[in-house]
Structure 1
């Protein structure tokens, strides 16, 4: 019960962001769809093109549509000299607006085209202009059908908005994604129930507007509309400006796994003690998070040397770890203005792991040994690994040909190994489940996998901020891998699970902060 109560305390600010995004997308969708519907109702060619485009958008998975706007906005921002955010509210707004078009547009066109021709002829006979006919005759008669389309679009938009978490926009999806990753089902339940309750409430209120218009009960649709506006205002209250903040408001970024959630809270606690107001952008993918930092969408986060080396710098050589970190710091500063505060003291490298007994039985201790056995084995990986440069480097060094490869979220990847769904996994060296599950980590004799020192990175606007750096510098070199593994396992274990916040507090105490 305490876990659920803790999860519910996180709902209000995320609900506020969710409502704001959904309302903005729906209103923008209405503003685009209604004029387009009027034009389409009078021009068959326009109708075919508009409805065809809106239908085409619906065939694109909503997650893919959200992700698509990141590179597009990033390129556009570079083209105009910066200033266009590629993460967060803007890409989410554009994607959800496009998703809202079809039901509104289709219903509006159907409502206008379905009017009795005699009504239109009567309006013409009394000398109404096209604008008068639309305002006084067509719009009132088509309104119930149009509102029904808006009602459908609202529910779709609220549901799809949970996915905006993946592009850095706070939403109720934060709870769902974090809960799935850490197997904190209270978070998942809080996120799902809140999103469902919001969708049902909005559906009921817009339904009241629809019914009031259809039955010509003025009081009903006015009351429903007033409640909808009041509810939206109340739900977004946590976002209302309260003054203050300024440059002391900080956004801490995190990727989508437990260690990142813990480190983000550890960083946030340091900054809060230094007098900053801290918010979090959780669940960012590796392909997005560095760009978010360089673009100023987040202020600070922890990355890993090998990730920056391979993904951002496009380097395939594997230098000594200290040199790699130094080269990364010089490159990020010169090319993006991003500051590297330092390493945290531990490494979280990719490491291929197997259950101990099968590894012993098949005499597999290294990736060289794995090459012979791979054709009869299944590789389980995290959702990114098979598309990352590191996997390409491993395949170049070792001719691995697995019978099958299956991606999982990190938590379920370990479960797949234990259940026999996977024989080998691309594990993480700082993960406490390696020791807890007594896994055998295979050596990399050809050094295909680069070093993965955890590195603390800050946005260009914070790179020369001495006060900001002073708050973070006590973390540099302070976290041994054993402590990080223990903190990670506190969140990932099946029983007596801790929240990332609790694990971060434990870690801070463990390292003397």
Structure 2
């Protein structure tokens, strides 16, 4: 918990910079567009229609749409456009900021008494003079209300940037939700709320200053806002020792392994940073693009999702093929298998006559499936469904922690469990056999990105982990985090796991 809280200043600084950049870009687009749209009804309908349409798209979906778009554009210009991190977050948040600013600018300008406009024209003012001296001052209070709304929305939505690899206060929220550490969720939410409310209060003072035509009441709060953003930039980009960036996906095991790796690298003298809460595709591309230097992925995930392979060779052959594939793409490499497998497996409470997935085929239409957030869209599910002819009465996706809760609470009958999860034994679940071998090997592989592939000291620090984590130890570490609803943090579980690996010594990777 303390290690996580130590990240708050850096995460808050990144959060502020992203939200500020998105709001400024939104202003640069919305203000002139709003003025032009006030004069042209067709443009007004198009602009407001587009901005309203953007608001109907969920934030996560908008971020997801920018990823393939930027990836395609990057391919056209030789890979110089980052598809992860700051840029997609900036573009998505900017689009979200458009509607309140645009709508209020148009409403403010459109609500000016026509007699005032006629009087300005009668004085011989040019359109530019009329806009600057008459229309803008009268419309500013209404426009400021839209800017305040956009600022609050942007700061709140910036927490979603975690999912595409940009650090924000969302790191704490996503980690806390997954590990059931309520304190982390509260810290992330409260910090984001303080930023939003503080910004809204300062912009409210600016709005009051605009309404009373008081220059100092405008400049004072505006200067304080600029000072906060400048301080965040100084904190974020102040020269410091280069750090190894350790990636992690969005479930307990990944948080634990990231902290285990980070601990070893810190002992070797490296500074480390964490990028956690990433989706599978985002994590791999972050490694390839250099946004992440080290993380753990699973052989079957890369094999089926990224490489689009449908055969199921033995684990060593699969790992060798993945290593060759990674080296050929961006110079990344597989350091080795950690010694355990975290395979997808269907699990349920013991039921007479149901020992394998094949036994489910006849009764699946009367059962409900709960999966993690990715499983229902993954190739493995399509392969399992086709191999065994499964058709469930209902299928719903949950975060992994709540997936197990759905099963224990009676909202689901079958789950897409993970073979290294300690909750399988703790909840007395039966893992169904896969006689047709529809699911490939899921050995946990330690991956290093291209810019660190030649760092012999780094690999020497990590190599003792290869083959040293038995599945029983990984299950216990996972269960330590998941069992007590946040009483044991991933940091504590990682230290425990590190002690176990030190005692066990090198062991051969587990195979199916």
TM-score, length of structure 1 as denominator length: 0.95
CA distance in 1, matches of 2:473, 2:320: 25
1:229-308 correspondence runs (5 A)? 229-245=226-242, 249-308=243-302
Q: Among residues 378, 386, 398, which one is paired with 1:396 in the alignment?
A: 386
Q: CA RMSD in A?
A: 1.6
Matched, 1:52 2:22: no
Map of 1:172 onto structure 2:
169
Map of 1:454 onto structure 2:
444
Matched, 1:478 2:498: no
1:385-464 correspondence runs (5 A)? 385-464=375-454
CA distance in 2, matches of 1:347, 1:480: 9
Q: Among residues 26, 35, 39, which one is paired with 1:38 in the alignment?
A: 35
Q: Contact conserved, 1:304 with 1:455, CA < 8 A, in 2?
A: yes
Offset, 1:286: 1.1
Q: Contact conserved, 1:179 with 1:187, CA < 8 A, in 2?
A: yes
Offset, 1:242: 2.5
Map of 2:98 onto structure 1:
101
Instruction: Please give the per-residue CA displacement for 1:454-491, whole angstroms capped at 9, x wherever unaligned.
Output: 00111122222323322222211111111111111111
Q: Among residues 147, 151, 154, which one is paired with 1:154 in the alignment?
A: 151
Report the more deviating stretch, 117-126 or 290-299: 117-126
CA distance in 2, matches of 1:497, 1:325: 36
Q: Contact conserved, 1:379 with 1:406, CA < 8 A, in 2?
A: yes
CA distance in 1, matches of 2:271, 2:411: 44
Q: Contact conserved, 1:254 with 1:281, CA < 8 A, in 2?
A: yes
Map of 2:366 onto structure 1:
376
Matched, 1:63 2:53: no
Q: Among residues 76, 87, 90, which one is paired with 2:87 in the alignment?
A: 90
Q: Secondary structure at the match of 2:174?
A: helix
Q: Secondary structure at the match of 1:86?
A: coil
Q: Secondary structure at the match of 1:498?
A: coil
CA distance in 2, matches of 1:364, 1:250: 47
Q: How many positions carry a matched residue from both structures? A: 503
Instruction: Please give the per-residue CA displacement for 1:21-56, whole angstroms capped at 9, x wherever unaligned.
Output: 000000000011111111112211211111111111
CA distance in 2, matches of 1:187, 1:236: 24
Map of 1:312 onto structure 2:
306
Matched, 1:213 2:210: yes
Map of 1:497 onto structure 2:
487
1:6-21 correspondence runs (5 A)? 8-21=5-18
Instruction: Please give the per-residue CA displacement for 1:418-446, whole angstroms capped at 9, x wherever unaligned.
Output: 11111111100100111111211111111
Q: Contact conserved, 1:345 with 1:480, CA < 8 A, in 2?
A: yes
Q: Among residues 346, 350, 355, which one is paired with 1:352 in the alignment?
A: 346
Matched, 1:185 2:192: no
Q: Among residues 134, 144, 156, which one is paired with 1:137 in the alignment?
A: 134
CA distance in 1, matches of 2:85, 2:329: 23
CA distance in 1, matches of 2:337, 2:44: 58
CA distance in 2, matches of 1:96, 1:412: 29
Q: Secondary structure at the match of 1:427?
A: strand
CA distance in 2, matches of 1:505, 1:237: 33
Q: Contact conserved, 1:100 with 1:157, CA < 8 A, in 2?
A: yes
CA distance in 1, matches of 2:6, 2:295: 24
Instruction: Please give the per-residue CA displacement for 1:279-332, whole angstroms capped at 9, x wherever unaligned.
Output: 111111112211111121211111000011101111111111111111111122
Give unpaired runs (5+ residues) of structure 2.
504-512
CA distance in 1, matches of 2:165, 2:237: 20
Give unpaired runs (5+ residues) of structure 1.
none
Offset, 1:407: 1.1
Offset, 1:217: 3.2
Offset, 1:116: 2.0
CA distance in 2, matches of 1:19, 1:53: 26
CA distance in 2, matches of 1:20, 1:259: 30
Q: Secondary structure at the match of 1:512?
A: helix
Offset, 1:172: 1.1
Matched, 1:507 2:469: no
CA distance in 2, matches of 1:244, 1:193: 30
Cα 1:150–1:496 change in 2 (3 A) is closer
Q: Contact conserved, 1:7 with 1:186, CA < 8 A, in 2?
A: no
Instruction: Please give the per-residue CA displacement for 1:470-513, whole angstroms capped at 9, x wherever unaligned.
Output: 22222111111111111111111126731111111111111118
CA distance in 1, matches of 2:485, 2:138: 59
Q: Secondary structure at the match of 1:231?
A: helix
Instruction: Please give the per-residue CA displacement for 1:382-435, whole angstroms capped at 9, x wherever unaligned.
Output: 111011000111112111111111111100111111111111111001001111
Q: Secondary structure at the match of 1:326?
A: helix
Q: Secondary structure at the match of 2:439?
A: coil
